Amino acid sequence: MSGVRRTDLAVLEPFRPRRAPAGAARNSPLPFTARQGFVLIGALALAVCIGDAEAGPGAPSIPATILKWTPLLAQGFALNIAMSVLAMAIGTVLGLALGLGLISLTRPARALSWLITQFFRNAPWLVLLFYCILLMPFEVRIGGVIVPLPGWAKATAGLALPVMANVAELVRGAVQSIPSGQWEASEALAFTRLQTLRLVILPQCVKRMMPPWMNLYAIVVVATPLTSIVGVSEAMTLTGDVLSSEGRTELLVPMYLYLLTWFFIYCYPIARATVAVERRFAVR
């Protein structure tokens, strides 16, 4: 228990698995690589060429058609981003609270938090979306003021729930990864548990949580088209509307690839930043 001395002889050291360089050996391959981007743009160009070749005589070219609808798609995409940002913000705040519940010293609080976390982490996102759309009222009365709840707001709430559960797990994992010596030293300095969390533990957790949290955000962005199924007029829904109003089958593949490119262009910098943040915090 005590008296462990530092040694120069490697054989006397306890076995420690070697730390892999950040980004090199991740649990899951990183989404949104540059190579994927090239493939995507190549596929888009190819699809446009094939579509143009298929088009009947006199029909406007596919690039021109895409360009014509771009402002509308941009409007829809703005809603995707707004929903993802809001869902992330709400989910993070709730998730922090739930994560603290997971490490609570009171058993009932811990059990309840665990149940909530497990449910919302493992439930299919689409199911949660349907629940929110169908169970939430179309307006709420707050102190005499009637606040309408449009579909996109309910869908945002539906996305925030799994974010909350995932953030809660991130918090729990990060808190548990802080060496016990930090708790001990804080206790010995007469910090209360809350002070220890606020001043010592959580500030150190932020660094550790940053990369997975950014990863989660990219996942939420890519999940926002799910809301088209429940009738939110975001980019995916609008693309469908455009296709049906144009009524040209050769537009189908280029249009959806075009939309995919938008998502890629938005998520790629986030993925790069995640790697950069990971690398920065790995070397400490």
Partner 1 sequence: MMADPAAWNPGLPLIRMRDVIKKFGQTTILDGISLDVMKGQVICIIGPSGAGKSTLLRCINALVPIDSGSILVEGQEVNDPRLDKLALRRKVGMVFQQYNLFPHRTALANIMMAPVHVLKRKRAEVEAQARALMRKVRLDGKEGFYPGELSGGQQQRVAIARSLAMQPDVMLFDEVTAALDPETVKEVLVTIRDLAEEGMTCVIVTHEMGFAREVADEIYFTDRGVVVEHGPPAEFFANCRDERTRQFLSQIL
Q: Which residues here bind partner 1, judged by CB under 8 A?
A: 1-6, 179, 181-182, 184-185, 187-192, 195, 199-200, 203-204, 207, 284
Query: Which one, of 25, 33, 26, lies nearest residue 267 by Cα?
Result: 33
- Beta carbons of 76 and 238 less than 8 angstroms apart: yes
Least distance (Å) from partner 1 to the CB of residue 206? 9
Least distance (Å) from partner 1 to the CB of residue 157? 34
Is the Cβ of residue 7 or residue 106 nearer to partner 1 in the bound state? 7
Query: Which one, of 118, 100, 85, lies nearest residue 197 by Cα?
Result: 100
Query: Which one, of 268, 267, 250, 266, lies nearest residue 46 by Cα?
Result: 250
Least distance (Å) from partner 1 to the CB of residue 18? 20
Is the Cβ of residue 1 or residue 135 nearer to partner 1 in the bound state? 1
**How far is Cα 114 from Cα 98, in angstroms, rounded to an integer?**
9
Is the Cβ of residue 4 or residue 134 nearer to partner 1 in the bound state? 4
Least distance (Å) from partner 1 to the CB of residue 197? 12
Least distance (Å) from partner 1 to the CB of residue 169? 22
Is the Cβ of residue 78 or residue 206 nearer to partner 1 in the bound state? 206
Is the Cβ of residue 39 or residue 189 nearer to partner 1 in the bound state? 189
- Beta carbons of 220 and 88 less than 8 angstroms apart: yes
